[in-house]
């Protein structure tokens, strides 16, 4: 494909993409192909000779699109959204055009510098404390990772090494210190709540440390409370184990609960103060962190100057296409201490001068994408005010949905929410006690299966405190009030049939 052919193919592709977005609502939201459908449609071997773009493009609609679930459809209400916007798509296009591995500053100075600048802009726009700024008082700063899971694994490794370094700093002999580190490593425990995303458990597995879940309770709204955390830390220490890391969640996956940040800060100030078995606190705000763009949510960050790191996926709710997980640390030296490697091939005067950031030392992969470009395009195209409007629109739509659910107490009951545009609800049941729980779980599951099978809307389900519940999260860019009315109508009609 030469540049002339590329121009023609790109124009035709853009036309195709625009048409896809303009008509997305007409498509069945969730794919209903059978497993293995694609193998039957594609040849056994790769083509020996190149094919014309027009032929490849034809196969996209005929063979690939039927196997897509349409995440940008206003009828997609499942999990958390995966945001999309045209400015971010343009960012992706330029990023891939300038493609490079960009591991060090000198690889493309603009890639590093734009990332640092947009992350400082966003830290201020989210109301994060100044310690997270690259220019702040504690050597803080931000970096873009692909996903929250990657962010959590990375900070957990930094936390592990910081803890072990501090715990063995009194040992002068290097070999003795290495031995002490190896022994202590086997005692380390990473913590999260029972409602924390599985990313923390996975990060613990990767880092070779234990994971323990702090219980959460319905009466606390499924938030991790400081008192429960304190109890677990004391119990672990009594067994000779060493908790060193905690994921606190702002917006849990099941119900969008916000952990008790005040209680966590005060219990850890007492049980794990700096220099005395300090526990690194990472706040995972993968989805709900987007709401901090609105001043009315920024009080949620009031304890963050006592914590160590924070992440929000701009690709979930802030109009930046996948992937883009923004991560801030209070002291970047903990990342570079844990992750920096020096190789002869990487030596250059800029790195040696200490005046530049080499983001390879802030992440697990070596090479990195130019993700800040799409963030820059989105922030400039919408402005902070535009992003606030986007978030508030969805919060309003969820309030409308929850009001509709409450308007039919004969059919439904809210389990939690609306919180950050997520409403979790179940079917109303008639019995008493255990048998009622079983009956209601069965009815809610029957409703869920019926609606998803029908394919007009796509939701996800969960189980909280033994209750089977349905999640409604209308936070995709194209969803409007009339869609939410339709979602409710579909659910109510199906519930009437299930409850007959
Ligand atoms: N944390 C929370 C609270 C989530 O809800 C999710 C996914 O929905 C994740 C982490 C994992 O996200 P990622 O796919 O970016 O790793």
Closest CA to 451 of 35, 95, 78, 38: 78
Q: For the chain, give percent helix, strand, coil, nearest 5.
A: 50, 15, 35
Number of H helices, E strands in the chain: 16, 11
State the pairing for strand pair 242-249/467-472. Answer: unpaired
Residue 127 is predicted with a pLDDT of: 98
What six digits make up the tokens of 193? 């709540």
Instruction: Ligand 1 pocket test: pick from 253, 255, 283, 473 the residue with the most ligand atoms within 8 Å of its Cβ.
Output: 253
pLDDT band with cut points at 50, 70 and 90 for residue 193: very high
Closest CA to 73 of 18, 24, 17: 24
Residue 42 predicted with pLDDT over 70: yes
Q: What is the mean pLDDT of residues 319-335?
A: 96
418 CA from centroid of ligand 1 (Å)? 19
312 CA from centroid of ligand 1 (Å)? 9
Instruction: Ligand 1 pocket test: pick from 197, 314, 422 the residue with the most ligand atoms within 8 Å of its Cβ.
Output: 197
148 CA from centroid of ligand 1 (Å)? 5
Instruction: Ligand 1 pocket test: pick from 203, 289, 313 the residue with the most ligand atoms within 8 Å of its Cβ.
Output: 313
State which H helix or E strand residue 143 sits in.
strand 141-145
Q: How far is CA 11 from CA 4, 7, 60, 65, 245, in A?
A: 11, 6, 16, 19, 50
Residue 500 is predicted with a pLDDT of: 80
Residue 346 predicted with pLDDT over 90: no
**Sequence-distant (≥ 6) Cβ neighbours of residue 72 within 8 angstroms:** 21, 24, 84, 476, 477, 478
Q: Where are the alpha helices (DSSP H) in 98-147?
A: 109-125
Residue 350 predicted with pLDDT over 90: no
| Rg, Å, the chain Cα set | 25
Residue 426 predicted with pLDDT over 90: yes
Residue 344 predicted with pLDDT over 90: no
Closest-lying ligand 1 atom to the alpha carbon of residue 147: 15
**Sequence-distant (≥ 6) Cβ neighbours of residue 132 within 8 angstroms:** 123, 140, 141, 142, 304, 310, 328, 329, 330
Residue 459 is predicted with a pLDDT of: 98
Q: How far is CA 46 from CA 43, 50, 56, 86, 226, in A?
A: 7, 10, 13, 33, 57
Instruction: Name the DSSP letter for residue 208.
Output: T
State the pairing for strand pair 242-249/422-427. Answer: unpaired
199 CA from centroid of ligand 1 (Å)? 7
Kindly report the average pLDDT of the chain as a whole number: 95
Q: What is the mean pLDDT of residues 152-165?
A: 97
422 CA from centroid of ligand 1 (Å)? 15
430 CA from centroid of ligand 1 (Å)? 36
For 332-365, the DSSP string reads: THHHHHHH----GGG--HHHHHT-S--GGGGSSS
Q: Give this prediction's pTM.
A: 0.96
408 CA from centroid of ligand 1 (Å)? 32
Q: How far is CA 221 from CA 218, 233, 282, 296, 477, in A?
A: 5, 22, 21, 21, 28
What six digits make up the tokens of 50? 């190149």
Instruction: Name the DSSP letter for residue 209.
Output: -
Residue 433 predicted with pLDDT over 70: no
Look at ligand 1, atom 5, and give the residue with the nearest C-alpha. Answer: 253
The residue written with tokens 């917006």 in the block is 251
**Sequence-distant (≥ 6) Cβ neighbours of residue 400 within 8 angstroms:** 481, 484, 485
Q: Per mean pLDDT, which range of 337-346, 408-417, 420-429 is the poorest?
A: 337-346
Closest-lying ligand 1 atom to the alpha carbon of residue 79: 8
Instruction: Ligand 1 pocket test: pick from 201, 202, 255, 287 the residue with the most ligand atoms within 8 Å of its Cβ.
Output: 287
pLDDT band with cut points at 50, 70 and 90 for residue 345: confident
pLDDT band with cut points at 50, 70 and 90 for residue 289: very high
Within 6 A (CB) of ligand 1 lie 80, 147-149, 197, 199, 249, 251, 253, 284, 286-287, 313, 325
Instruction: Ligand 1 pocket test: pick from 71, 148, 206, 258 the residue with the most ligand atoms within 8 Å of its Cβ.
Output: 148
289 CA from centroid of ligand 1 (Å)? 12
Q: How far is CA 112 from CA 102, 109, 196, 298, 364, in A?
A: 8, 5, 31, 28, 16
Instruction: Ligand 1 pocket test: pick from 286, 364, 371 the residue with the most ligand atoms within 8 Å of its Cβ.
Output: 286
Residue 349 predicted with pLDDT over 90: no
What six digits make up the tokens of 385? 């005010």
Are 290 and 310 in contact by the 8 Å Cβ rule? The answer is no
Closest-lying ligand 1 atom to the alpha carbon of residue 288: 3
Residue 58 in 3-state DSSP? helix
- Residue percentage of the chain with pLDDT more than 90: 91
Residue 330 in 3-state DSSP? coil
Residue 432 predicted with pLDDT over 70: no
pLDDT digits (tens, 9 = 90+) for 66-97: 999 999 999 999 999 999 999 999 999 999 99
234 CA from centroid of ligand 1 (Å)? 29
Residue 293 is predicted with a pLDDT of: 98
216 CA from centroid of ligand 1 (Å)? 19
State the chain's maximal CA–CA distance in angstroms: 76
pLDDT band with cut points at 50, 70 and 90 for residue 435: confident
Q: What is the mean pLDDT of residues 405-422?
A: 96
pLDDT digits (tens, 9 = 90+) for 223-252: 999 999 999 999 999 999 999 999 999 999
Beginning with the edge strand found earlier in the chain, give each strand of the sheet holding 325-329 in spatial order.
141-145, 325-329, 309-313, 280-284, 242-249, 188-193, 210-214
Residue 431 is predicted with a pLDDT of: 63
Q: What is the mean pLDDT of residues 32-40?
A: 97
Are 401 and 474 in contact by the 8 Å Cβ rule? The answer is yes
Closest-lying ligand 1 atom to the alpha carbon of residue 315: 15
pLDDT band with cut points at 50, 70 and 90 for residue 356: confident
340 CA from centroid of ligand 1 (Å)? 26
Q: What does the alpha-carbon distance between residue 325 and residue 346 come to, in Å, rounded to a whole number?
A: 26
Closest-lying ligand 1 atom to the alpha carbon of residue 253: 5
Are 145 and 336 in contact by the 8 Å Cβ rule? The answer is no
Q: What is the mean pLDDT of residues 34-62?
A: 96
Look at ligand 1, atom 14, and give the residue with the nearest C-alpha. Answer: 147
Are 133 and 124 in contact by the 8 Å Cβ rule? The answer is yes
272: exposed, middle or buried (Cβ count in 10 Å: 0-12, 13-18, 19+): buried
């Amino acid at each position: 494909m030469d540049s002339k052919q590329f121009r023609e193919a790109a124009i035709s592709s853009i036309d195709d993409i625009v048409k896809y977005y303009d008509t997305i609502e007409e498509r069945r939201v969730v794919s209903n192909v059978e497993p293995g459908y694609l193998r039957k449609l594609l040849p056994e071997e790769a083509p020996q000779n190149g094919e014309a773009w027009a032929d490849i493009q034809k196969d996209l609609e005929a063979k690939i699109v039927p196997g897509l679930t349409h995440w940008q459809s206003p009828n997609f209400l499942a999990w958390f959204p995966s945001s999309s916007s045209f400015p971010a798509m343009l960012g992706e296009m330029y990023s891939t055009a300038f493609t490079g591995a960009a591991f060090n500053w000198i690889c493309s100075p603009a890639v590093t510098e734009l990332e640092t600048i947009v992350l400082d802009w966003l830290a201020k726009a989210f109301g994060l404390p100044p310690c997270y700024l690259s220019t702040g008082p504690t050597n803080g700063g931000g970096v873009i990772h692909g996903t929250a899971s990657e962010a959590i694994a990375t900070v957990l490794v930094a936390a592990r090494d910081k803890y072990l370094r501090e715990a063995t700093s009194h040992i002068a002999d290097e070999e003795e210190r290495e031995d002490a580190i190896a022994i202590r490593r086997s005692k380390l425990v990473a913590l999260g709540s029972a409602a924390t995303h599985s990313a923390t458990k996975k990060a613990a597995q990767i880092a070779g440390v234990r994971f323990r879940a702090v219980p959460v309770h319905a009466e606390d709204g499924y938030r991790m409370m400081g008192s429960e955390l304190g109890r677990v830390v004391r119990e672990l220490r009594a067994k000779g184990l060493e908790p060193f890391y905690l994921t606190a969640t702002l917006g849990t996956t099941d119900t969008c609960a916000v952990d008790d940040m005040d209680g966590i800060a005060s219990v850890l100030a007492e049980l794990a103060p700096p220099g005395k078995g300090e526990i690194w606190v990472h706040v995972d705000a993968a989805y709900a962190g987007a709401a901090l763009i609105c001043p009315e949510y920024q009080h949620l960050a009031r304890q963050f100057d006592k914590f160590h790191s924070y992440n929000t996926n701009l690709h979930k709710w802030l109009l930046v296409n996948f992937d883009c997980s923004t991560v801030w640390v209070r002291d970047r030296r903990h990342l570079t201490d844990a992750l920096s490697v020096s190789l002869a091939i990487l030596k250059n005067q800029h790195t040696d001068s200490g005046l530049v950031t080499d983001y390879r030392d802030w992440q697990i992969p070596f090479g990195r994408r130019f993700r800040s470009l799409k963030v820059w395009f989105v922030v400039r195209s919408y402005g902070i005010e535009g992003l606030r409007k986007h978030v508030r629109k969805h919060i309003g739509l969820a309030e409308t949905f929850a009001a509709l659910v409450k308007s039919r107490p004969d059919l439904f009951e809210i389990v939690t929410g609306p919180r950050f545009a997520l409403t979790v609800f179940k079917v109303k049941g008639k019995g008493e006690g255990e048998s009622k729980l079983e009956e209601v779980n069965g009815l809610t599951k029957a409703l869920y299966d019926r609606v998803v099978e029908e394919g007009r809307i796509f939701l996800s389900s969960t189980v909280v405190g033994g209750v089977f519940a349905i999640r409604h999260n209308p936070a995709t860019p194209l969803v409007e009030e009339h869609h939410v009315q339709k979602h409710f109508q579909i659910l109510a009609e199906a519930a009437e049939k299930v409850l007959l």
